[in-house]
Structure 1
Amino acid sequence: MTIQPAVVPVGGIDRSECQFEVGRVRPNTGGFHGKGLLVSVYTAISDHERLAAYDKLAGPAVQAGGGRVLSLLPSLGGRVVAHEAGITQRVVLVEFDSFEQAVAVYESEAYQKALVAFPDGVERDFRIIEGID
């Protein structure tokens, strides 16, 4: 099923030039490259020590799987301007060459070990999404 919506720019792509299918957006030009993105938005952190233990395991697991950290704010001193809900906790954004690669890293033995160390005192919204390149 293909739906042609009104013209609204999305990620630099004119939506009138896209085919929308259930769960997928593909530019008609054939220029779609489904990068994989890990998006983790932390809403509460009360156990920084255990979060650091998780980080020591998760970071190498993600890098070994080809992940490139694009954002680790405000942990690395970057700037944040919060709108809407106004949450300024840590945001982690990691890019992979493909969606499948991102999923494989999440399901890997190394990352699963990191999840065991993930503290109860931390809340986050974690997603793996397919990006438009």
Structure 2
Amino acid sequence: MPKAYWTCAYRLVPDHRQREVYSELATAAVKAGGGRFLVRGGRMRANEDAVVERTVIVEFDSYDQAIAAYDSELYAKALAALPPGTLRDHRIVEALE
């Protein structure tokens, strides 16, 4: 069974202190859902038409596990803590076998 990944690029974060509240709640939800952070900010180089944005990548053992973690009550609480006006691109993708 192929692994799956959450990918998230933050386009706009109006309140970085409030994002930290989200981050703490999201970390607990990801770990409870069996996810492992592979990328969480850090150095990056944007190529071609890309722009430099905070990027997060989380690995799950399966697509169903990734979906269940996103749909969980714990992650819903984290999402509710995102600062108003936050713009981000969040995707759940299944890996190749």
Gaps of 5+ in 1: 1-32
**Aligned-pair Cα RMSD in Å:** 1.2
> 1:86: how far off?
3.8
> 1:62: how far off?
0.2
2:95 is matched with 131
Kindly indicate whether residue 40 of structure 2 is the aligned counterpart of residue 60 of structure 1: no
Identical columns (%): 44
Q: Deviations over 1:89-133 (max 9, x none)?
A: 210000000000000000111001111111123211000111114
Structure 1 residues 35 and 110: CA distance shift in structure 2, 3 A:
same
2:47 is matched with 83
Aligned length: 97
Greater radius of gyration (CA): 1
Q: Whose helix proportion is higher, 1 or 2?
A: 2
Kindly indicate whether residue 64 of structure 2 is the aligned counterpart of residue 100 of structure 1: yes
Gaps of 5+ in 2: none
Q: Deviations over 1:21-50 (max 9, x none)?
A: xxxxxxxxxxxx321110001111221011
Runs of 4+ in 1 over 2 A off after TM superposition: none
Q: Deviations over 1:54-92 (max 9, x none)?
A: 001001100111101010122xxxx21111234212100
What TM-score comes out, normalization by structure 2 length?
Answer: 0.92
Write out aligned runs for 1:1-133 (5 A): 33-74=1-42, 79-133=43-97
Give the match's secondary structure for 1:87: coil
